[in-house]
Structure 1
């Protein structure tokens, strides 16, 4: 079959969605590709038009994309072999049609194929490992606190306090150990990103499985249970169901409308008529989950730019028109414009007081008795809470916050003393952001000047500072104004050379990853050395070498230089300790991986086995010491990749003739 007839088939054969006859479509594409290759056997055929060559180019592009979306590794390898054969026939291509542009297109497509193959090969082991891990995991269930009548989601030992300067804040009246669930609250009202309507529950924001509950009146949304469907319908979805195709573009305004529907417009008007309540009354009466409490939350739109204000205003107008069409409010009503004003106020309040729901895939691992999570985190929506919304910001915070669907829980990241204020971060952290940048960020986004301990003492991000060109000390830089050296006081506004080095190092690391996947080890090592030298020249701390160290560990394992891989794992563990600022299961997981490499080094070595075994004993004792401390924590968590390493602890210990049963269990 000639190229012209092949191109005619493309238009009717390969058009298919990702889920429609996937396997059959792929097989058809492979057959067509075989026929296309047969054209090259006759280089005298020059009857192909410009349009046909364009179709041919588009076809190759479609196949490379469908290959990675739909097929098995064996089929991908088959296609790659054929494509490489196609590349070797480039001379024949140029003979048929002497067009450099076409040759460049083919080179570009082939380069895309290699890059996609590299990315796909990195993801395949993780996917298979995750499937195996699913056999040992179950849904993560965090208890919701309800015993504190003043604060939803808080235990009885958390107090609501009032300060004339700070306003409301929370503190503990008992000591809290690291790893304790300090607060846990289910969101009162939520909003789901439209992109995830068919993947997550519209009410509780948890991921829906193959079996889901559909809305009783539409096909736009899904629920994880009948309870969620009933609750959503009763509270807000019955109002918005028919106009969701418009509301899904309104984001914060959509959430603001749900608040009005949930609390009731008449109740809202009565609250407004009573006016603002003195916040000191909340210390006595508590902060219950009602509209009076929500109405008292700070809300201001002065931090929004012009585009945001226009967007929210248009959204409020759309919602007002929808409410009018649903007979929720009449345009000639005296409170019609009040309705729009309330929408805007709610937008400002939710923008400053809500949590972003992030899907980290928390699971409970039965064998390890720990919770696992992924390191990616999809931002799926917005959650409005009451008790946890009062937790203040600190650049040296003592609690981390997480979400599981619409549930928000706070986890202490260090020991907290009795009488100490609870704090989270609104993003700035003194170890990662310069003092001036922290102040600027919080002023622009949250409209306050931070006076936490870290800011009062002007703590700087020394671990991520550049290396001063004058004295080699920590050079602190920020987005606006001059950078300065902490040691010698040298000031400079020109940091272009530093930023250029950072960009070059990042690019070299990415190249090294691709080369390692293609098993081009020598070229990969060259890129890693380049990145390491650039980072060493640029930064004063070893922490920014994290990604280089990870790839060096991978490189030495591929080279079967296991002792060097062991040393790189020890470097990774040291970086992890600095990042976590305490003992963690992530460090344990890296040390277990280090022992695996050391075991292989001993097996392949004829000398110094005794000294290597002693190193293994030292690492093992460190593992035991850390796990004994972690065992005291109420909530123990480790990443999915860390859990895969932890599962091998017994096997590693047996190789070192150690006790397979540790003093403590994970």
Structure 2
């Protein structure tokens, strides 16, 4: 889970005797467990010490380093290598101190330099944003004429003629402050005056063209569910003692339909992507914005930066280097993020309600994905946990709490290192609860890497928790695939669903690639349950075993069960062994002859990278298979894997910048 912290926990656990463990186990509530561990850690000096100098180094604002990196960026810019120049100027911006006016001025120059790279790479809006930041950070007056002209050219390129005219006029006004020679100034002035004259006579320069919103739009199939607004109304949530809360189709759902769109309740980005992706929305960065206090994270724009700085990052800015150094996993860090993204008073205001909350079966009010109560009510399996498991997680929660106390999250009090207030212990108990529920309800956030050819490679960039998605049970033969846009998750069907069919996703092992024993062992170890999906209960064959099979599983026209026939059979009727009725095979075999050409057509589209064109072809093919065949069947699962590949291509994608 977290090797470095695990070593610390082993020391702590070994310091406890049987009587200590019994005392810990007998505490009635988790607040008392947290207080007990805190007192033991501090009163007996077994605490984990933070190396303050290491923490300071990890924060990483470094003026000397910035000036060297800036030189590297300028060297590449002078060679017209704008991609490399953009990279190095961005790194310099992230490391630039923001504590004195001199450094803020240096930051303004870096923004202006980067705007030149962005302009040449045709990222005009990003260039305009950097120019504005340069002005906000007191960019030198004698240089402003250059960036005003650059801004005007960016506005021209995006057909915002009115604003371009204003920027050209500002260029003329600021030329007087420049250090240009009289001759150069006059030439520059003449060129700009020509542009001003041309735009002044252009009737289209009276207003700017409204920019189109290029954001992807994903629509739910049907209307939103009245009780579960993140899901379609074609999906219902039910409860029974064997399956717990689970999803089923309330009506027939075709292949490729979006049945759930949910924003993450909380997300944490992997440390290694801290400079390449926005820490708030996980979008791939072209021109990252820095945190004022550290160089560990970056943002895509001011809105994401504001959200982070006004909530979680205000507290985590100094904490995260220490936590990362202890190799604490992403799912555990999400347990902390759930706390830091809301103020203390939010949690204390609902403490009484949480204490009265019973184990949730089905909600009586709307199940909003952003409601903490719905997150809190996800399964923890506390009753199945050993005392050592609870002790481990309680110790980690206390460690998080100790770090959080060093920030301004809690009001300061006397002797605060020696004991916990009731509010502090309560927050510690919530972190413990989060650590337990996230073991079973956290999700990886992925991104498709841009690569040459038809190969797709998915990488893990962070983790999130989704209260509605968490209600879907596992199947080794899932009917949906999920992908991400930023930190939001989109779930689409990958096979036809009939009324009351279970809507399941996959927690890892798939029947086509792992034996039943392998799947069961993985699921029992990781998620603590025995799988009873159809692939397990019928012990479906692996893909390579299906590939060797020379039989067809035709769907009985009467009872819909499988009629197994040889692929070389010349018979046109077959009797079902379940209902004993005969099925005419002629239409089934005739349809199956067409599927090979359809699949070949779709594969050509995929080979050309045209996944949007391939998807409807493959979806229609799966519809045919659903009507005429019964799983498991090799061609069905080949087609299904292709559908998954097309759908995953709609998600987060790492794109190369083209020169």
TM-score band, normalised by shorter chain: 0.3 to 0.5
TM-score normalized with structure 2 length: 0.48
TM-score normalized with structure 1 length: 0.47
